[in-house]
Structure 1
Amino acid sequence: MLLNDSVNQPINRTLNSSSQTFSTVGLVWSSTSYLSVCILTTALLTNCSVILLFIKNPTLRSPFAVYIINLFVANLFQLTLHYPLEILHELYARWWMGRTVCTLFLYSTWVIQAAMCNAHALIALNRLWAITFPHSYRHRHSKRLAIGLCVSVWLYLHACLLPGLIINTRYYEESLETSVCEVKTAKQKTWSCIVQAIAYDLPTLVVFSVYSTVCIWLCLRRKARQVKHETVSKNIRQMASHMDVSQVPHHSPGMASGRDKGRGKGTSSHGFLILTLMTFCVLSCYTPLQLAYTVGIYFETAIPGLYRPAAVLYELITVIDPILFVLALSDLRKAFRRTYLHCR
């Protein structure tokens, strides 16, 4: 995810005009390079440790866990395919690994990053279903459905992104003659704008929209329950004024018992916590870089000083994702303590 910060150059998803930035061919270490290596190492540790929990604990493999595993698989592809090549690309300041590795680098840059964004959107939509229609979610959601949705998204992304990458490899490889591995977005303007909108911007917008919808829905439901409670209390008081206190019913037929209310509230709170934490991470880590890409691809310019910190934040989400779900899911948290801390 490295590129030139010059406002006069169009933004791409890879390092642009690197031969103009550095005149040397040897290693060129920078603070960003050291930070990227630290993030890569930490992210591999966190993602692999959580995936191992799902492997060793079959009880954790619920239908919702399919979406989490799908996200971690996308993270691992990014960590093993993209980030090492990206670090080497930055260190040597020019592309020297040939066309085949360049093709792999561009595939990981465009397809795997889109898979990460869409994996978060799938989790958000799943939480929307679980919170707003819990009865339907419990009876209709299954592992087969979850796997089908995840596979469909991967196929959809390949159908959208591979044509442009293939055309770029076939017709626009002259960039390799100047030691730059990149997609010529300016020469595929229509394709670049469309895939940026539907494969990257739309999933991020879905996460924000789902969170806003759930917040509004929970507020309306809370208000409706309050009105219902006040109405029932009023009816009980009216009944009490016409009969003895001993004849007043302790529970209204329309009211749920304390155990059922607590259970329903806990389920909603559980899903809402995951959605809140994930939305905050997407807002903090994805949005700055998506803004940089959108402005660069649509207007062929760059926002000065935005890309470097935005790229670091984007990399950090691969570290944060496993920590987020371990903290938010009690079963996963217990399995982590039992497996790695040897605590019951």
Structure 2
Amino acid sequence: MDSNATITHNLSATNHSDSRPFSLPFNVSLDGGTFSTGILVVGLNTLAVLVTLTQASLRTPFNMYIVAILCSNVALGCLDRALDIAEREYGAVRLGHSLCTIHLYAIYVISPLVYNFHWLVTLNRVWALFGPISYRARHNRTIAGILCGAVMVYVHSFMLPLLIRDRLYYRLPLEGGCRLNNGHQPALAALTTFLIYDVPKVGIPVVFPFLLWKMYSRRRAIRPVANPAAPAPTRPEGGRPFTLLTLYTGSTLFCWWPMMCCNIILTYSPNTKLHPALYRTAASVYIVQTVLDPLMFILTLGNIRSCWRRLCKTKINNQGMLVRISAGRECAAARNTRENPNAIPNVAIVA
């Protein structure tokens, strides 16, 4: 998300003595990094989506939530970055109201989708850890797809009325930039701020300690029993989803909360003067989350990392023939080797 989005993403942060939305008394734009940040966000998130969709072993119900986060990051990077560059280059007046509306859609709809998909990952772990029998029996890709769709409907149902009313009745002159005039919709702005922004950002760190306690309790319960003939309970999906959730929780605290604290201060104490460097730092850190999402996902894939590093590499067998190992078979071989050290991986020989 660009820094202009972070300035006004807290919809209740409105200067009620003025019809214009809240604005900072200093410039926090990151013009120099806008293009490079957009390329990095789109490139990394697209790569992670391709890794997931091209590997059958990765198309799990849980990973559908991650794909939803990554796709939202790609859409945000494309729309927000491109339109932000265009607005800075040509001005909002030349872009017109239609492109301004698309830009506001990216800021106030796609960006909250990222927050709420992260929240959905946390709620998924709540279900898996506190209702394991129901989770194993009912959770599948269809259910995961329905839940992702429900989050999209939920966010749009609150944010679109705000944007539509702004476009029809309250749109500010474009000479001042493409901004949301939330000052004329204080009740709706306050409601959407709480439900769409605050609940995910506060809910994730609040719920995580309970998940950590439950995970620790389950691990103690599945320690090897005294009778070696008795099978030990298994943990569905392993520990990777919880590891990823741990990384995401830490990164959201690091990336989201500095900006959130700044906005809370400026909302309830509009006369407070924050140091420009402090807000600039918070705005810079805020953007980092869209880059960390795909990196942390790939880092938790275990042997898949080595599979993709060698995806396009060729090997020469003892007879001098060209050998190309497909990514899917190599991943399967890596898993078999881990479970059975004596297993011999299958390779596809291409003359």
Same fold (TM over 0.5): yes
Q: TM-score of the superposition, structure 2-length normalised?
A: 0.74
Structure 1 residues 269 and 2: CA distance shift in structure 2, 3 A = closer
Residue identity over aligned pairs, in percent, reads 28
In structure 2, the residue matched to 1:172 is: 170
Structure 2 counterpart of 1:190, from 171, 187, 190: 187
More helix by share: 1
Q: Write the mapping of 1:291-310 to structure 2, written as runs, cut at 5 A.
A: 291-297=261-267, 300=270, 304=274, 305=276, 306-310=278-282
In structure 2, the residue matched to 1:139 is: 137
Unaligned runs of 5+ in 2: 8-12, 315-324, 331-351
Structure 2 counterpart of 1:106, from 101, 104, 107: 104
Query: Which structure has more RCO (C-alpha within 8 Å, separation ≥ 6)?
Result: 1
Structure 1 residues 302 and 86: CA distance shift in structure 2, 3 A = farther
Q: Write the mapping of 1:1-344 to structure 2, written as runs, cut at 5 A.
A: 1-3=2-4, 10=14, 32-90=30-88, 96-176=94-174, 178-221=175-218, 251=227, 257=231, 260=232, 263-264=234-235, 269-297=239-267, 300=270, 304=274, 305=276, 306-330=278-302, 332-339=304-311, 344=330
Q: 1:339: Cα distance to partner?
A: 3.0
1:301-331, CA deviations, whole angstroms, 9 ceiling, x for partnerless residues? 6661343222222221111111101111236
Q: Distance in 2 between matches of 1:119 and 1:81?
A: 19
Structure 1 residues 129 and 206: CA distance shift in structure 2, 3 A = same
Higher alpha-carbon Rg = 1
Q: Distance in 1 between matches of 2:252 and 2:23?
A: 29
Q: Distance in 2 between matches of 1:31 and 1:165?
A: 23
Structure 1 residues 147 and 224: CA distance shift in structure 2, 3 A = closer
C-alpha contact 1:37 1:87 (8 A) present in aligned 2: yes
Q: Distance in 2 between matches of 1:100 and 1:94?
A: 10
C-alpha contact 1:274 1:325 (8 A) present in aligned 2: yes
Q: Secondary structure at the match of 1:186?
A: helix
C-alpha contact 2:61 2:140 (8 A) present in aligned 1: yes
C-alpha contact 1:63 1:143 (8 A) present in aligned 2: yes
In structure 2, the residue matched to 1:243 is: none
Task: Output the amino acid matched with 2:260.
Answer: Q
Structure 1 residues 274 and 165: CA distance shift in structure 2, 3 A = same
Q: Secondary structure at the match of 2:179?
A: coil
Unaligned runs of 5+ in 1: 23-29, 233-249
Q: 1:300: Cα distance to partner?
A: 4.7
Task: Output the amino acid matched with 1:308.
Answer: R
Q: Distance in 2 between matches of 1:190 and 1:328?
A: 42
